[in-house]
Chains A and B, each alone.
Chain A
Amino acid sequence: MFDAAPSDETLLEVNNIEVIYNHVILVLKGVSLSVPKGGITALLGGNGAGKTTTLKAVSNLLHSERGEVTKGTISYRGDRVQDLDPAALVKRGVIQVMEGRHCFEHLTVEENLLTGAYTRSDGSANVADDLEMVYSYFPRLKERRKSQAGYTSGGEQQMVAMGRALMSRPETILLDEPSMGLAPQLVEQIFEIVKEVNEKEGVSFLLAEQNTNVALRYAHYGYILESGRVVMDGPAAELRENPDVKEFYLGMSEEGRKSFRDVRSYRRRKRWLS
């Protein structure tokens, strides 16, 4: 059994990266963060803040979308990884679960899971063991193993995408927006599984999430991104208590939760903008 708390060892180190799409659109303007071994690190922020771009910069999926890291470095276990292709990174134990699930629609649930083991070369017996491991985290998938993934529900597809990533025996999972389009109850369930995988399998997570409330409850550490910059970071417990985070991300002010009917203008500017 692994310890739930993150260790001092840093796995992923992103140092002041800048990302440009199509040679013109500057999306990230200097993002730095680090992911410790065994921790759940949350990357928070609104639409267009640059969460997904940060994750794709790490997993090297940017290239196929005409994006490129123009400044800064990304290293994993001390090695520079930003020039590797995604397959090489998966072999090193870093895999991304993309926003919006991206299941292979015409493959069955089980075939989807098996594609996760594509880069492995440790024999089919081990892969079969891991398939059972994934089914133990997602019993629902076992019931639906023969269905085409395209016909499963949104929650099931999220499970397929996460299970598929687990099949690669990763050390770090880059999890992009797992709560998207899911009912609150299901979001809670998905995050419980993230926590379980983190504790039992010792997998580290870098988690991009708009749902700040849920993310800060499950993460150990958080970064807040706004327009391509990290504006704040700290242990999740501290971020939860920060008045700015409370007001702008959790929708709470000192008087408690307020109704949108009473909001006319922001009471004060964000402190980090001044």
Chain B
Amino acid sequence: MPEQLIFGMEVFLNGLMAGVLYALVALGFVLIYKASGIFNYAQGVMALFSALTLVGIMEGQVPFGHLINAIFGTEIHGFGWHVPAFAAILLTMGVMILLAVIVQKCVFRHLVGQEPIILFMATIGLAYFLEGVGDIMWGSEIKKLDVGLPQGINTLIDETTFGWFGYGFFIDNLDIVATVIAALLVTALVIFAQYTKQGRAMRAVADDHQAALSVGISLNFVWVMVWSVAGFVALVAGIMWGTKSGVQFSLSLIALKALPVLMLGGFTSIPGAIVGGLIIGVGEKLFEFAIGPMVGGATENWFAYVLALIFLVFRPQGLFGEKIIERV
């Protein structure tokens, strides 16, 4: 087998794994968009915030430590304990649910019936607010996150492929775990949205706020529920990205990569977010591998956006998005 093809296969597999991580972020967008028609700009920051909180809790860091020290002249930095990963994840989930309640109570409850663009603006504000709060609460240095997920090269795949092609593929264990978790998450979410009463209520609210109110669906409850679920998805994404590249503020920028994923997959489709993520992941890696050297590299920065642009022209609702129903 030609060497180029074997390399290409490895790039393809790695692209798939990277795509899963994009998809995880995109998933949070889809959930909130489906239920409230809000494009939640803050989703990436939520992933960052959850990762920061998780590290903070695990390390026993005192929230707002810097602020307290600055005001009272004290020198406290940590509680001096370490919380096991599993408990810390549960606690962080509690914080994300609390965040959902606060966001609903303080922001979106007052904006019922407003234009989508106004809701979108509110989420931009929320994003910067949350980034600032995360900074003040836990500090801005880059942190290492280790919740005990396996990392490093998967030796089984390495040896097997070496046996086949005489060349071992490098696949990170973390990527494999991320794929499995993403698959489970998506299955659970699809079942929730399609076949449960609350899921149906969520989709009803997405279609028509007023009508949902009129049949007795509580918008407040549905939105808190959806923001909590989106917070959970953000937490999963935060753990994966944080483990891979450290918890740092650039994490919130990966949210921007979710945009082309959504345009490809469709803003309203949970499976679409996954497929879109995989296409972007594989697409940019293969493009960089095949075309990159000809144009001087760094194509990963723009490839996804160009692909999304082309999609917007020919299929604005994305691959799996709900058709925009317009009756005349």
Tell me the A residues contacting B by CB distance below 8 Å: 59, 61, 64-66, 85-87, 89-91, 95-98, 102-107, 111-112, 114-116, 118-119, 148, 150-151, 164-165, 168
Contacts and interface: CB of A to CB of B under 8 A. Distances in A.
Interface in B204-246: 204, 206-218
Contact of B211 (A85, A104, A111): A104
B153 to A, nearest CB: 44
A64 B200 contact: no
Nearest to B112: A64
Given A64-B113, A107-B203, A90 B325 contact: no
Given A61-B213, A115-B217, A118-B201, 17 more contacts: A59-B214, A87-B216, A90-B215, A96-B214, A98-B210, A102-B210, A102-B214, A103-B211, A104-B211, A107-B204, A112-B204, A114-B200, A115-B212, A116-B215, A118-B217, A150-B325, A168-B215
Contact of B216 (A65, A91, A106): A91
Interface string B89-116: 0000000000000000000000011000
Contacts, number: 83
A164 B215 contact: yes
Contact of A85 (B210, B218, B322): B218
A90 B212 CA distance: 12
B232 to A, nearest CB: 23
Contacts of A86: 213-214, 216
Interface of B: 112-113, 197, 200-201, 203-204, 206-218, 268, 322, 325, 327
Nearest to B217: A118
Contact of A115 (B112, B201, B218): B201
A259 to B, nearest CB: 32
**Most chain A beta-carbon contacts within 10 A, residue among B208, B211, B268:** B211
A150 B203 CA distance: 14
Nearest to A112: B204
A106 B203 contact: yes
Contact of A64 (B206, B213, B217, B325): B213
B203 A64 contact: no
A87 B208 contact: no
A103 B207 CA distance: 8
A64 B211 contact: no
Contacts of A85: 218
Contacts of B212: 104, 115
Contacts of B201: 115, 118
